[in-house]
Structure 1
Amino acid sequence: MYADYHLHSEFSDDSRERMESQVRKAIELGLNEMCFTDHVDYGIKRDWDDPRGIEWRQGDGISSGTAEREPLANVDYPRYFAKLAFMRAAYGNKIVIRSGLEFGIQSITVADYERLFAKYQDELDFVLFSMHQVDNQEFWSQDFQRGRSQQEYNEAYYEEILKTMKVFKHYSVLAHLDLLVRYDKAGVYPFAKVKDLVAEILRQAIKDGKGIEVNTSSWHYGLADTQPSRDILRLYKDLGGRIITVGSDAHQTSYLADHIKDAYTILRDEIGFKEIATFEYMQPVFHKL
Structure 2
Amino acid sequence: MAIRADFHLHSSFSGDSKAPMGEMVERGIALGLGQMCFTEHMDFDFPVSEGIPKGFFEVNTDAYLYELLRCRAVYGDRIKLCFGVELGLQAYLAEVQEGYVNSFPFDFIIGSSHLCNGKDPYDAGFFAGRSEEEAYREYFESIIDNLEVFHDFDIYGHLDYVVRYGPDQDKFYTYEKYRDLFERMLELLLENGIGVEVNTGGIGYGLKELHPCREVLKRYHDLGGEIVTVGSDAHRPADICREFKRAEEFLRDCGFSYYTVFDKRTASFIKL
TM-score bucket (shorter structure)? over 0.9
Q: Counterparts in 2 of 1:245-284, with a 5 A limit?
A: 245-268=229-252, 270-284=253-267
**Pair 1:287 & 2:241 matched:** no
Residue in 2 aligned with 1:99? Answer: 83
Q: Say which of 162, 183, 186 aligns to 1:180.
A: 162
Match of 1:130 among 88, 112, 120: 112
Whole-angstrom distance in 2 between the partners of 1:73 and 1:6? 16
What secondary structure is seen at the aligned counterpart in 2 of 1:250? coil
CA deviations on 1:234-289 (whole Å, 9 max, x unpaired) are 11111111101000000011101111122012211x11201100001111111111
Distance 1:266 1:246 in 2: 11
- Provide the C-alpha distance between the structure 1 equivalents of 2:100 and 2:163, rounded to a whole number of angstroms: 29
1:128 match: secondary structure: strand
Provide the alpha-carbon RMSD of the alignment: 1.9
CA distance in 1, matches of 2:118, 2:17: 21
Identity, in percent, stands at 35
What is the CA deviation profile of residues 121-151 of structure 1, one whole-angstrom value per residue up to 9, with x for unaligned ones?
xx20111110011222101012332233223
1:114-129 matches, within 5 Å, as 114-120=98-104, 123-129=105-111
Contact 1:33-1:97 within 8 A present in 2 as well: yes
Q: 2-side partners of 1:22 and 1:113: how far apart? A: 27
> Out of 192, 202, 217, which is 2:186 matched to?
202
Q: Which runs of 5+ in 1 are unaligned?
A: 46-54, 60-68
Counterpart-to-counterpart distance in 2, 1:191 and 1:44: 29
Name the aligned partner's letter for residue 282 of structure 1: R
Find 2:13's aligned residue among 8, 11, 35. 11
**2:4 matched to which residue of 1?**
2
Range moving further from structure 2, 189-198 or 159-168: 189-198
**Normalization by structure 2: what TM-score?**
0.93
Map of 1:152 onto structure 2: 134
Structure 2 runs not aligned, ≥5 long? none
**TM-score of the superposed pair, with normalisation by structure 1:** 0.88
Number of residue pairs matched by the alignment: 268
Change (3 A) 1:257 1:70: farther
The one of 133, 153, 169 aligned to 2:151: 169
Instruction: Give the structure 2 partner of residue 64 of structure 1.
Output: none
> Mean Cα displacement is larger for which, 173-182 or 142-151?
142-151
**Cα deviations across residues 186-208 of structure 1 (Å, max 9, x unaligned)?**
44333212112112111211111
CA contact 2:154–2:265 (8 Å) conserved in 1: yes
**Cα shift at 1:57:** 5.6
Q: Secondary structure at the match of 1:72?
A: coil
**In 2 relative to 1, CA 79–208 (structure 1 residues): closer, same or farther, beyond 3 Å?**
same
> What is the Cα deviation at residue 107 of structure 1?
1.1
Which letter does structure 2 place at the counterpart of 1:198?
F
Q: CA deviation at 1:209?
A: 1.0
Write the mapping of 1:57-96 to structure 2, written as runs, cut at 5 A.
58=51, 72-96=56-80
Preserved CA contact (<8 Å) 2:136 2:163: no
Structure 1 stretch displaced more, 136-145 or 17-26: 136-145
Distance 2:5 2:169 in 1: 31
What is the aligned counterpart of 1:219 among 168, 188, 203?
A: 203
1:36 to 29, 35, 38: 38
